[in-house]
A and B are shown apart, each in its own frame.
Chain A
Amino acid sequence: MKLKSKTQDAVLFYTLRVISLLVIALLLFIMFVLTKSAWPAISKMGFSFIIGREWNPVEDQFGALPFIFGTLITSFIALIIATPVSILVALFISEYLPKNVSRIIALLVEMVAAIPSIVFGLWGIFFLSPLMKETIAPFLKKYFSFIGLFEGPSFGIGILTASMVLAVMIVPTISSICRSIFELIPKHQKEASYALGSTKFEMIKMAVIVPSLSGISSAVVLGLGRALGETMAVTMLIGNSPVIAKSLFSPAATMASVMANEYTDANTPLHVSSLCYLALLLFFITFLSNLLAKSIVKNFSRLR
């Protein structure tokens, strides 16, 4: 009897161990394959690939900077739009709605994350793009042209349009993490604030937001992770032109979008290899942003 339960435990232990190791092995294997395929480009161009501004496969010119720029700028703008919206949505759900309603609303917000990326892309093309061209762009040009980022004509697709769709896509991620952080705030903290004569707004500020700041930042970084790698919707909306433009109306391309666009008709070995190099870089950037989010969460739990 005793022996049997011991063997059972041992079987379970080794099975779990093998499966977990397989997952890690897969990660290493993907990295290995990527590095191997990227190696011709890495050995030929090295670091100059990263700072190169020209991308011209016909001339065998491969510079990744426009894509790195495109990825970072679209993700950054998406975060600027999505962060405040997500925090407000999370606050509304956790602090204002009665429990039975809040569960439904929270579920609906999270459902937005389940919408396939291509659907967002179509929505962007048929709804957001005309709106950008006819309403948003003229408005921004009229009132905010002094910032210097809103110049030239808008064709409906470009950096800003892609960023806005990205923002919509990451709101559910950020807001649902924020909501679960807000819901972790002990009731006695809120009451402590109320008991000192604070209004609801002051209570939210001192008992909900301030203690959650690091949690909110990690939610934002996780949202960033999603935005950096997002491919389909961005490819459909960014205009796919490998330039570093000053105006947010102009088209650009991201690391993910150029891979999606070009891998099918990449016919020189260096082109394929350059795309893999790009993939490796994107992998590295998202890996770093996830690591950052993890370390923030770690500091956060230590504070608690």
Chain B
Amino acid sequence: MSEIKEKIILEAKNVEAWFGDFQAVKGISVAYGEKTINAIIGPSGCGKSTYLRTLNRIHEETEGAYVRGEVLLEGQNIYDKRIDVVDVRKRIGMVFQKPNPFPSLSILDNVVVGLRLQGINKRSTLMEVAESCLKKAALWEEVKDKLNSLGTSLSGGQQQRLCIARALAINPPVLLMDEPTSALDPIATAKIEELMNEIKRDYTVIIVTHNMQQAARISDYTSFFVYGKMIEHGLSSDIFTNPKEKQTEDYISGRFG
């Protein structure tokens, strides 16, 4: 595996993900540097989303699903029996493929719902966090006058940025994004790609994407997955110009996948 310059914040060690008897992820080991954007690409069904879902332990919420291996967050294994899964998820946020704001909550409440879960109810704090996170998610200007309307009243792209703001509100050092733009139109996608650079200043992002151009545009590092295995991992500039593996080259040049 290629060296990374940054301080390591999250590290997967021989991670396997299973659905009952079916092994979807087969022994992934990779380290992620602090404040970098890491893309995971690969053909459909290659286990990239499943792998991502092992990193905040949401994989195990599916019936019959379990994980083997270790994931170290700042050196501590999140699969350690003594670790509370709730704490893990507070520190590793997630944005999903389909925008999923809570349908019964307002825009404001959607952003701060994670803080409310932690018992923070002070109105001024909530407003402050909401404003700063909506600004980071490049949504503030569009919603500042209607914070009390339902989150679901927004367009798909706005809803996804709302979900990003919601994930940022609890200030997790690591943010996982599972194909966050696949359900969006090109303009909404461009907006989200733009804000990724902003987010990178404070957070480490691991993003699964179907879109190779997207990975090349936004990420510092890229991993290429096929059939639950990681074929190659390295600087995106290397992967997309000068891949070491034949399979990677075939995929990025469109001959496969």
Contact = CB atoms under 8 A, between A and B. Distances in A.
8 contacts: A188-B97, A188-B100, A191-B61, A192-B100, A193-B102, A195-B89, A196-B170, A197-B118
Interface in A188-202: 188-199, 202
A210 interface: yes
B196 to A, nearest CB: 18
B117 A197 contact: yes
Interface in A261-304: 303-304
A148 interface: no
Given A188-B100, A304-B103, A194 B58 contact: yes
B97 to A, nearest CB: 8
Contacts of A105: none
Q: Which of B58, B61, B93, B101 has the most CB of A within 10 A?
A: B61
Contacts, number: 67
Contact of B96 (A188, A210, A211, A213): A188
Interface of B: 56, 58, 61, 63, 86-90, 93-94, 96-98, 100-104, 113-114, 117-118, 163, 166-167, 170
Given A197-B87, A197-B90, A99 B103 contact: no
Q: Which of A191, A196, A198 has the most CB of B within 10 A?
A: A196
Interface of A is mostly: helix
B103 A303 contact: yes
Contacts of B118: 197
Contacts of B89: 194-197
Contacts of A198: 86, 117
A99 B96 contact: no
A207 interface: yes
Contacts of B94: 191, 195
A161 to B, nearest CB: 39
Nearest to B91: A197
A207 B102 contact: yes
A249 B167 CA distance: 55
A196 B114 CA distance: 5
Given A99-B63, A197-B170, A206-B102, A192 B86 contact: no
B86 A197 contact: yes
A211 B56 CA distance: 25
Contacts of B102: 189, 192-193, 206-207, 210-211
